[in-house]
Amino acid sequence: MEQHPEPKPHQNTVSTYLKILVEKGYLSTEKEGRIFRYNVLVPFEEYRKFLLKELSHNFFHNSGKEILSFLIHEKLISQEDMKDLNLNIEIKPFKVKEEFEYANEVLNPKKDKKKDKDKKKKKKKDQEK
């Protein structure tokens, strides 16, 4: 909480988010006296790769050219930077669909809960019959 910028969220809000992330397996906890210490379980590179692909898909129509054009237009990268990179890269199309387990669970948490609730309701009805 000390490191969070102003306006700081309510402590209960932060606790709720952390609890959800622990339940989904993205964080682990260690109890230290009266407090919990949270540790990240999701590899940073996997999360970074997922975010970049989502950004590309949702905002740039899966076009690397559009991303580079945007970065140059917004002056986030210069043409000189592009020249310095010596981009002699051969791009080969491939049809491997990469799944991001962690991110899919975070982005679609309600679907799983709804299925669980529906299963419980069905089980309850079956027991009543």
Residue 120 burial class via C-beta count within 10 angstroms: exposed 0-12, middle 13-18, buried 19 and up: exposed
pLDDT for res 56: 93
Cα 48 to chain center, whole Å?
8
Which residues on neighbouring strands pair with residue 31, listed in sequence order? 36
Please check whether residue 112 is in contact with residue 105, taking contact to mean a CB–CB distance below 8 angstroms: yes
Secondary structure (3-state) at 108: coil
Using one digit for the tens of pLDDT, what is the confidence trace for 72-120?
A: 888 888 777 777 777 654 445 545 455 666 666 666 666 555 566 666 6
pLDDT for res 107: 63
Q: In this model, does residue 23 exceed pLDDT 70?
A: yes
pLDDT for res 83: 74
3-state secondary structure 42-98: CCHHHHHHHHHHHHHHHHHCCCHHHHHHHHHHCCCCCHHHHHHCCCCCCCCCCCCCC
Percentage of residues in the chain having pLDDT higher than 70: 66
